Amino acid sequence: MTQRSAQKMMTLIQSVAEKDDNIRAIGMEGSRNNPAAHQDQFADFDITYFVKDPTPFRQNDDWLNVFGERLMMQKPTGALFSGTMQPWYPYLMQFTDGNRLDLKIACVGDMDAYLAAEHLNTVIFDKDHPVQAQPETSDWDFHIAQPTEEDYQDCVNEFFWVSLYVMKGLKRGELLYANQYMETPVRAELLKMLEWSVGVNTNFQISVGKNDSRLKDKLPTEDYDKLIETYRLDSAAATWHSLQTASQLFIETARIVADQLGFDFPEYPAHVIAYEEKVMGESSAVQPQK
């Protein structure tokens, strides 16, 4: 099936609203409103219908069929969306032609809160107050935030504290335990420090994208290569090598951030690394990879 164009999708989205008196306005948000985002066939259509009464839209899903043949859908049922995005009701739809529509139903009275929530949120159609011109959108809300000294020290502390859990798991032969700590707290803090390094080089005026999607373009090639090297976790030896690589990259990056922002880099990371190397060296079962 040929994928419908962005123009066809937007025409369809507006025509549905025009034909339904309950729908009073359309909001658009997300990457398609972001001038800094790369647009391709996978970009979602993030749309909000502002309605007088949301009840009819929640009674059944038949009204959604007009948007096309769905491959699958998520909506706020059960624990998956428990307590989230209320009172805005989302339908996340993937269509068989490749398009994806993330459609929220919100009350008309929520429009001011919607516009105030993010600089990417705009009203593109309004039956009651016709929009004369589109406001300029910006990804300002997603720019890398400059850390405080406390933020910085907490990041360093968390990285090296949790690295000890990774080491412990490896020594116990518990690879899944070690990898879960490596993937969540350790990697999260490493990515945070790398983001800050990009921030200090750009005066904290850019975003690196959702889930660091554009981090590759902002890092020195050698740093990005080291980061990718840390993703191999398919054996105890690989995870140990990844932890060592991550620790080295973290320290190098953290020193740069500290120098640029006038923060103190603590002494204990070097001691933690020495301790981990000593403990891991006591067993021949786990050796760093070359």
**Domains of the chain: which residue ranges?**
6-141, 144-281
Which pLDDT belongs to residue 31?
A: 76
Phi, psi of 89 (to 5 degrees): -105, 115
Tell me: pLDDT of 74 over 80. Answer: yes
**Cα distance between residue 248 and residue 163, in whole Å:** 12
Tell me: pLDDT of 70 over 70. Answer: yes
- Provide the percentage of residues in the chain whose pLDDT is more than 70: 87
Q: With a threshold of 0.85, does the pTM exceed it?
A: no
* Pairing label, strands 100-107, 45-51: parallel
Handedness of CA 167, 172, 175, 177 (dihedral sign): negative
In sequence order, which residues have a C-beta less than 8 Å from that of residue 189 and are 6 or more positions away? 155, 156, 158, 159, 162, 250
Which pLDDT belongs to residue 83?
A: 46
- pLDDT digit string (tens) for 126-157? 998 866 555 565 554 557 889 999 999 999 99
Higher pLDDT, 84 or 65: 65
DSSP state, residue 283: -
Instruction: Please tell me the least confidently modeled range out of 64-78, 152-166, 183-197, 244-258.
Output: 64-78
Which pLDDT belongs to residue 141?
A: 53
The third-level CATH classification (topology) of the domain covering 144-281 is Four Helix Bundle (Hemerythrin (Met), subunit A) (1.20.120)
Nearest to 235 by CA among 170, 187, 181, 190: 170
Higher pLDDT, 208 or 111: 111
Which pLDDT belongs to residue 122?
A: 87
- What would the mean pLDDT of 187-215 be, rounded to a whole number? 87
Q: How confident is the model at residue 210 (pLDDT cuts 50, 70, 90)?
A: confident
- Other C-beta atoms closer than 10 Å to the C-beta of 214 total 17
Domain spanning 6-141, CATH architecture: 2-Layer Sandwich (3.30)
- What would the mean pLDDT of 203-210 be, rounded to a whole number? 80
pLDDT mean across residues, the chain: 87
Helices (H), 42-99: 55-59
Nearest to 241 by CA among 272, 202, 195, 287: 287
- What would the mean pLDDT of 106-111 be, rounded to a whole number? 91
Which pLDDT belongs to residue 116?
A: 78
Which pLDDT belongs to residue 66?
A: 96
- Provide the percentage of residues in the chain whose pLDDT is more than 90: 65
Cα 71 to Cα 8, 92, 250, distances in angstroms: 19, 11, 42
